[in-house]
Structure 1
């Protein structure tokens, strides 16, 4: 049992941090239950529209209170809709809980913040590209939405986790 104690500590730390972050996020969402979407989700949608505009696909956001989402109107076509689940916070919670399960001081905070920023950028680009695929290559929209784009965001998380483990969490501190 003594051999498993470090693993159990890491697992327990992960579960506690994950539950706390999920509860905080749910508290945040509950505060905006009467809105179309929460402010962070709207901010992500605005950034996607901005990226699409830079790419030559001017986009207007259209609120749908009935579906608690923001639609992307690109040109004359509604491409996709932005819902809370597309804002990468849930993925960020999972990422952060894992990073803090292998806590290594101040660099843990820096890596977590840097990773969340990187995941956010990846997410905005992913949604913009998905909308462009809907416009230009509609025959691939299901494959892109259901397989390719989840692989991009979760692949990003896994790569960041591997970097954290390989270069920070398991790296031995040099004796002074």
Structure 2
């Protein structure tokens, strides 16, 4: 058994760091969410920010958009041309994707400064792309309502997870301690 631990030490260390980071960040996030009473339809602050920013992006591009609190569930209704196009709930705010991203970067950590800067930069990029994703999704669903499942269930998750995957590849190949070292001339 000891032979296998030695043989797979790198993988086991990666897995341990990933799971610890993921569990810790998920615990912190769940603790944050527990401050809000779902029975009273309270919406967490970050989801409200994402909804407002999505509306603001739509308005910036001259799309008639507004938001109001949902009175039937904890969420925010996003309207386009006075038509309800999305219910932005906690799962739409992108934080679970960011937690997954951060956990992976920590598992393949490099120098502390680079790791922190990459986590901040990557998290901001994911957040910004998520806000644009929601805005674009609303507009596309308005014009192509029959494509809702394809847009919401396939293309947009593929896009956001594709970006996260590309960030991971960039991290491992350029910044982590496993990145190939180039010879200095």
TM-score, normalization: structure 1?
0.94
Q: CA RMSD in A?
A: 1.6
* 5+ long unaligned stretches in structure 2: none
* 5+ long unaligned stretches in structure 1: none
Residue 46 of structure 2 corresponds to 40
State the SS of the aligned residue for 1:135.
helix
Displacement after TM superposition at 1:175 (Å): 8.9
Length, aligned pairs only: 176
**Are residues 1:72 and 2:102 paired?**
no
Q: Is the 8 A contact 2:25 2:99 kept in 1?
A: yes
Q: Is the 8 A contact 2:65 2:82 kept in 1?
A: no
Residue 7 of structure 1 corresponds to 11
Greater displacement, 72-81 / 44-53: 72-81
Tell me how far apart the structure 2 counterparts of residues 172 and 144 of structure 1 sit (CA, whole Å): 38
Greater displacement, 64-73 / 23-32: 64-73
Q: Is the 8 A contact 1:36 1:64 kept in 2?
A: no
Q: Map 1:22-33; keep pairs closer than 5 Å.
A: 22-33=26-37
Greater displacement, 49-58 / 29-38: 29-38
**Are residues 1:171 and 2:171 paired?**
no
Displacement after TM superposition at 1:36 (Å): 2.7
TM-score, normalization: structure 2?
0.90
Residue 139 of structure 1 corresponds to 146
Greater displacement, 25-34 / 81-90: 25-34
Q: Is the 8 A contact 1:70 1:82 kept in 2?
A: yes
Q: 1:159 to 1:172 in 2, by over 3 A?
A: closer
Q: Map 1:89-128; keep pairs closer than 5 Å.
A: 89-105=95-111, 106-128=113-135
